Amino acid sequence: MTLDPVHVAGAGMIRFGKYPREVTLETMGASAARQAMTDAGVGPADIEALYVGHVFGGPVAGQRIGARIGLAGKPVSNHENYCSSGATALREAWIAVGAGLYDLVLVLGVEKMTDRIKGGVQPDAGDLDAASGFIFAAGHALSARRYIADYGATREQIAMVAVKNHAHSVMNPYAHYQKPVSLADVLTARPIAEPLGLLDCSPISDGAAAVVVASQAGLRRLGVASAPKVAGCGLVSGTVQTGLGDVNEEDVSRRAGEEAYRVSGIGADEIDLVEMHDCFTIAEIVRLEGLGVLPRGEGARLTEAGHTSLGGRLPVNPSGGLLSRGHPVGATGVAQICELFWQLTDRAGGRQVEGARTGLAYCKGGSVSGTDGASVTTVIMTR
C-alpha cells in the first residue's frame, strides 16, 4: 500500500526531569499536548484523533489526558512497546493519516517514572531473563566488554559518548541535565556494571512530548505551505536466537533501518543527523553500526574523533540523547521526533545541525528472552 504524504506540523515538550508526586502524568501530558497544538496553530476541534505512547501510565491514560485537553469523544488509542511506545504511536498515526483516514491528529508520548520506578527498569517479571536476575545494565556491560575485546576499542572511547551528549544537552532547554561532564567524570562515576558507570546510563526521568501530524490537506487547512515530512517508519521485533551468537551483531537494528530506508527511498548515506536510543553509552555505538550509518567496529573510534559531535560529519543526539535529555520511556520516541522537527525547521538554536535536510530517529524497547530485542522503531524525516 502506498501512503499519501504525511507531515509534522507542530511540536511541544515539557522539560524532562524529576517532578514531585503532585505533578501527574495527566498534567505533564496535557501541557506538552497544548504546546504542540499551539505550535501548529490548531485547537481541540481541529484534532481528529489522539495517539498516546506510555508504559507505566495505567489503563486508558490517553483518554484521561484527552479529557483534559478538549478531546473527549475523539478516537484515542494507547500504545505500549516499552521504550519504543511513543514512536510506535507516531507510526500508527502516520499510517492512519497516510491512508486518508484523518487530516490532523495529535501524537503524545508521556511517562511519570520517578514515583513508580525504583532502580533500573527491568524485563517483565514473567520473562525468563527477569527470573534469572537479568537487568538491562548487565546486558549492556556485556556488550561493552565484548566490543572492547573484538575491536580494540578503549573504555575512554566508549565514555566519550556521554561526554558528547552532555555537551549537546547544554543547549537544549528541555533536557533533564544541562551541564557538561568531563571524561574523568564519566570514568570515575559510581560503578554500575563493569565497565559501565553511572554516567554511562540514562536516568530515570519524567516527561512528555507531542507532535501534530498532518496530511497535505491538513496543512492547507492550517494555511501552511510546507512542513517536515515523515518519509518512512520502520517497526520490527527481535528474532529467536540460537547458540551463543554475537551480542553486538544488532541484526534487529539492521532490519529496522532497512525497513525505513525501503519505505522512504532514502539510504543510510543520505542521513544528516540521528536521534539515537542511547540508553547506555555502548548502545549508541553498536546501534549506529547496526543501522549502517557507521562502519562496524569503528563507532567508538569515530565518536572519540568527533565524527558524531555537532560540527562532525554525522551529528548524533544533538538533543543530548537519553543519557542527558533524559529517558521517560513512553515519551522518548516522540521527543526524538520533536528534535527532528526543530532541526528540519532551523529552530534548534545552539544545537542546530547546519544544512540538515534528512534526519533519522531510532528507539529500541524492552527485551524478550531468547531474542535479540523486543521492539525497534526507525523514523526518517525530511524537509
For residues 273 and 293, give the distance between their C-alpha atoms in angstroms, rounded to a whole number.
Answer: 10
| Residues forming a β-bridge with 81 | 83
For residues 161 and 153, give the distance between their C-alpha atoms in angstroms, rounded to a whole number.
Answer: 13
For residues 3 and 99, give the distance between their C-alpha atoms in angstroms, rounded to a whole number.
Answer: 6
Burial 90-123, CB ≥16 within 10 A → b, else e: bbbbbebbbeeebbbbbbbbbbbbbbeeeeebbb
- DSSP letters of 119-173? SS----TTSHHHHTT--HHHHHHHHHHHHHHHH---HHHHHHHHHHHHHHHTT-T
For residues 176 and 74, give the distance between their C-alpha atoms in angstroms, rounded to a whole number.
Answer: 32
Active site residue 279: no
Residue 339 C-beta-side C-alpha neighbours within 13 Å: 37
Q: Of 4, 112, 5, which is closest to residue 382 (Cα–Cα)?
A: 5
Residue 154 CB neighbours (<10 A):
13
- The three cell numbers of residue 212 are 501534530
The one catalytic residue in 54, 277, 327, 338 is 327
| Contact residues for 133 (Cβ-Cβ < 8 A; gap 6+) | none
The one catalytic residue in 83, 201, 233, 363 is 83
- The three cell numbers of residue 3 are 501512503
Active site residue 338: no
Active site residues: 83, 327
